[in-house]
């Protein structure tokens, strides 16, 4: 490499810093994660989370939002910092420290991949080979998501505006990997008092119509502050 290209010099060694964005979506059946196939070495052909170097004038969260926008077209999803990964040799090229974020998106709002021919949604329980330490990052992200749904309301970030109780329950079951009793789940949600029952209905199956709900966002955010414990 030409030495003139390396023009940013420091007295002490500085690691490179990137942001990665673990983007979760829910398709009504399964919890999915957005991955990009790597076209270059190292780990060519493996899959990775959207990510890249942090720009000099942006915060890590801005970097993560930039990645999210580039891959999904979304500007305003729920995003939160997950963890920072700093094992010295996690990237074979040079020392790279990655600030990982979790984003929760409404999968139906995601712009179909224009620059994303090499991007795809995968069920979180069945992902292709991952690059770097992204397997560990995914495990951590799932643990965090389970912790969140366990103690704070979840659904607004991942479900469409209007949804059925069944969809909400399926989301909970997909995230936690357990089965809930239909009736007790409905009662729990009613008691939490964060749902608004709409006048509309849909026919999710040809068998019977189902009521539509939306979140009462004020009470939802209140409960988000307070926290609770869901356990069936």
Partner DNA sequence: TCAAAAGTGTTCTCCCTACACCCATGG
Partner DNA sequence: CCATGGGTGTAGGGAGAACACTTTTGA
- Residue 219 as a binder of DNA (CB under 7 A): the answer is no
- Residue 114 as a binder of DNA (CB under 7 A): the answer is no
- Residue 191 as a binder of a copy of itself (CB under 8 A): the answer is no
Q: How many CB atoms lie within 10 A of CB 207?
A: 7
Q: What one-character-per-residue DSSP string does 134-188 give?
A: HHHHHHHHHHHHHHHHHHS--STTTS-SSB-HHHHHHHHHHHHT----HHHHHHH
Contact indicator for 164, 171 with CB cutoff of 8 Å: no
- Residue 1 as a binder of a copy of itself (CB under 8 A): the answer is yes
Binding span for DNA by CB under 7 A among 1-9, 41-49, 95-103, 161-169: 161-169
- Residue 208 as a binder of DNA (CB under 7 A): the answer is yes
Q: From the list 69, 150, 196, 221, which residue makes contact with a copy of itself (rule: CB under 8 A)? A: 150
Please report, as residue ranges, which positions from 27 to 46 form the binding site for DNA (by CB under 7 A): none
Q: Is 122 exposed, middle or buried (0-12, 13-18, 19+ CB in 10 A)?
A: middle
- Residue 204 as a binder of DNA (CB under 7 A): the answer is yes
Q: Is 181 exposed, middle or buried (0-12, 13-18, 19+ CB in 10 A)?
A: exposed
Is 140 or 173 the residue whose CB approaches a copy of itself more closely?
A: 140
- Residue 39 as a binder of a copy of itself (CB under 8 A): the answer is no
- Residue 217 as a binder of a copy of itself (CB under 8 A): the answer is no
134-137-141-144 Cα dihedral, nearest 10 degrees: 170
Binding span for a copy of itself by CB under 8 A among 10-18, 35-43, 65-73, 127-135: 10-18
């Amino acid at each position: 490499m030409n030495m003139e290209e390396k023009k940013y010099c420091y007295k002490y060694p500085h690691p490179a810093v990137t942001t990665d964005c673990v983007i979760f979506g829910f398709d009504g059946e399964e919890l999915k994660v957005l991955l990009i196939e790597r076209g270059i070495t190292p780990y060519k052909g493996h899959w990775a989370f959207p990510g890249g170097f942090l720009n000099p004038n942006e915060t890590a969260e801005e970097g993560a939002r930039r990645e999210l926008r580039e891959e999904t077209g979304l500007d305003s999803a729920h995003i939160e910092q997950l963890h920072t990964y700093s094992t010295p040799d996690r990237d074979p090229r040079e020392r790279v420290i990655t600030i990982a974020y979790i984003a929760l998106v409404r999968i139906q709002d995601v712009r179909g991949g224009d620059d994303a021919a090499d991007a795809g949604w995968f069920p979180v329980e069945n992902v292709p080979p991952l690059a770097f330490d992204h397997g560990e990052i995914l495990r951590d992200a799932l643990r965090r998501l389970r912790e969140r749904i366990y103690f704070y309301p979840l659904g607004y970030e991942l479900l469409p505006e209007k949804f059925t109780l069944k969809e909400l329950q399926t989301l909970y079951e997909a995230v936690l990997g357990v089965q809930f009793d239909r009736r007790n789940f409905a009662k729990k949600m009613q008691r939490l008092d964060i749902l608004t029952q709409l006048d509309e209905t849909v026919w999710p199956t040809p068998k019977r119509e189902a009521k539509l709900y939306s979140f009462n966002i004020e009470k939802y955010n209140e409960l988000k502050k307070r926290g609770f414990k869901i356990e069936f």
